[in-house]
């Protein structure tokens, strides 16, 4: 798995997102929350991922977009470390549940904690 975040890896299907929130499980590493669902795609990818920041906590779009950009970058840099040998296909939605702005170092550390907690919960092979 390379360190890119291609269009094919982005979670865009409204039906799948609704199914993810209704049937999915979650893991929390504050200020991040991962909602995941084991599923199957027609596309040849292991994981489809989306990111979201609440409009309730961040009224200005510029603040929401910055946090989403940081979350996508932290995910992109760390995904190959955790999901290189994953045989199953998953749908992920990573939510920012904090109420204040943050920096990349914090997001990156919490993303690592979140992925490690997911692997522990799923008992997948660790990197």
Show me where the domains of the chain are located.
8-112
Question: Both ends of the chain: CA-CA distance in Å?
Answer: 13
Place of tokens 């920012």: 96
What pLDDT was estimated at residue 126?
A: 52
So what's the pLDDT on residue 124?
54
Q: Which residues of 26-64 are buried (b: 16+ CB within 10 A; e: fewer)?
A: ebebebbbbbbbeeebeeeebbbbbbbbeeeebeeeeeb
Ranges of residues in the chain whose predicted pLDDT is under 50 = none
Q: What dotted CATH number matches 8-112?
A: 3.30.230.10
- The pTM score is 0.91
Instruction: Give the pLDDT of residue 127.
Output: 53
* Cβ-based neighbours of 96, under 8 Å, separated by 6 or more: 31, 32, 51, 52, 53, 54, 67, 68, 71
Residue 11 phi, psi dihedral angles, 5° rounding: -85, 115
The predicted pLDDT at position 122 comes to 83
- The pLDDT, as a whole number, for residue 84 is 79
Predicted local confidence at residue 75, as pLDDT: 95
């Amino acid at each position: 798995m390379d360190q890119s975040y291609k269009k094919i890896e982005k979670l865009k299907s409204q039906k799948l997102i609704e199914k993810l929130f209704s049937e999915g499980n979650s893991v929390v590493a504050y200020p991040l929350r991962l909602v995941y669902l084991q599923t199957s795609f027609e596309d040849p990818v292991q994981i489809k991922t989306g990111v979201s920041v609440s409009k309730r906590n961040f009224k200005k779009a510029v603040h929401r977009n910055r946090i989403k950009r940081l979350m996508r970058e932290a995910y992109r840099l760390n995904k190959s470390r955790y999901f290189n040998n994953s045989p199953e296909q998953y749908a992920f939605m990573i939510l920012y549940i904090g109420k204040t702005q943050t920096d990349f170092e914090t997001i990156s550390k919490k993303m690592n904690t979140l992925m490690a907690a997911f692997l522990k919960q799923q008992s997948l092979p660790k990197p």
